[in-house]
């Protein structure tokens, strides 16, 4: 820890030190008990990471990396990458004078990009909102006619 005890100390000299002792499983056990007493109890991700993974020096930076990884796995990120790749391929094909191929890649890029924008609703869908199923009364039962048998 960068500290050392001096070699020449008087015999009546006392040294005192304060340090934190961490017992394996203690935090998890206390968190479990806290959740039993209050189901809404939670610890921040920074606290959990800082206590369980002391080798991670900057928990906030690590959490930002996790969020970036999640964003890269999202389907929208894949679509954006696909659009960029199609446009780059179109540019390369134009450089070698393959106009038809370039146009096809540009159309593909535009098609993927168009699929990312919201489509306007049809007239019928916008006309009148339908009532929620839970407020619609059940259909009326057919009246039953009793028939008596006669002998």
Are 53 and 80 members of one domain? no
> Is the CA virtual torsion 100, 101, 102, 108 positive or negative?
positive
Q: Residue 49 is encoded by which pair of tokens?
A: 């990471």
Residue 90 CA from chain centroid, whole number: 33
CA distance 4 to 63: 36
Are 62 and 32 members of one domain? yes
Are 57 and 91 members of one domain? no
Question: Tens of pLDDT along 125-141?
Answer: 666 777 777 767 777 76
**Cβ atoms within 10 Å, residue 105:** 21
Domain count within the chain: 2
Query: Residue 101 sits in which domain range?
Result: 74-116
Q: Where are the alpha helices (DSSP H) in 9-98?
A: 26-37, 45-52, 59-72, 75-95
CA distance 81 to 101: 19
What percentage of residues in the chain have a pLDDT greater than 90? 51
Domain boundary among 51, 70, 89: 70
In this predicted structure, the answer to whether residue 31 has a pLDDT above a threshold of 80 is yes
* Residue 60, in any domain of the structure: yes
Task: Please choose, from the candidates 118, 43, 83, the residue with its C-alpha nearest in 3D space to the C-alpha of residue 91.
Answer: 83
* Residue 140, in any domain of the structure: no
- Name the pTM for this structure: 0.47
User: What is the pLDDT, as a whole number, of residue 120?
Assistant: 65
Mean pLDDT calculated for residue range 101-114: 95
- pLDDT-based confidence at residue 145 (cuts at 50, 70, 90): low
How much is the mean pLDDT over the chain? 85
- pLDDT-based confidence at residue 151 (cuts at 50, 70, 90): low
Q: Which residues contact 101 (CB under 8 A, 6 or more apart)?
A: 90, 93
Q: Residue 42 is encoded by which pair of tokens?
A: 């939670």
Mean pLDDT calculated for residue range 87-115: 96
CA distance 103 to 115: 18
């Amino acid at each position: 820890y960068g500290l050392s005890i001096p070699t020449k100390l008087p015999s009546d000299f006392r040294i005192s030190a304060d340090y934190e002792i961490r017992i394996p499983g203690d935090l998890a056990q206390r968190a479990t008990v806290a959740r039993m007493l209050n189901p809404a109890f939670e610890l921040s991700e920074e606290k959990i990471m800082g206590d369980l993974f002391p080798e991670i020096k900057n928990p906030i930076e690590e959490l930002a990396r996790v969020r970036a990884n999640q964003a890269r796995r999202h389907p929208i990120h894949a679509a954006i990458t696909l659009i960029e790749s199609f446009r780059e391929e179109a540019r390369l094909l134009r450089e070698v004078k393959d106009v038809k191929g370039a146009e096809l890649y540009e159309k593909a890029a535009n098609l993927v990009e168009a699929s990312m924008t919201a489509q306007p609703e049809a007239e019928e869908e916008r006309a009148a909102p339908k009532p929620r199923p839970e407020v619609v009364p059940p259909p009326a039962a057919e009246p039953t006619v009793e028939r008596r048998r006669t002998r």
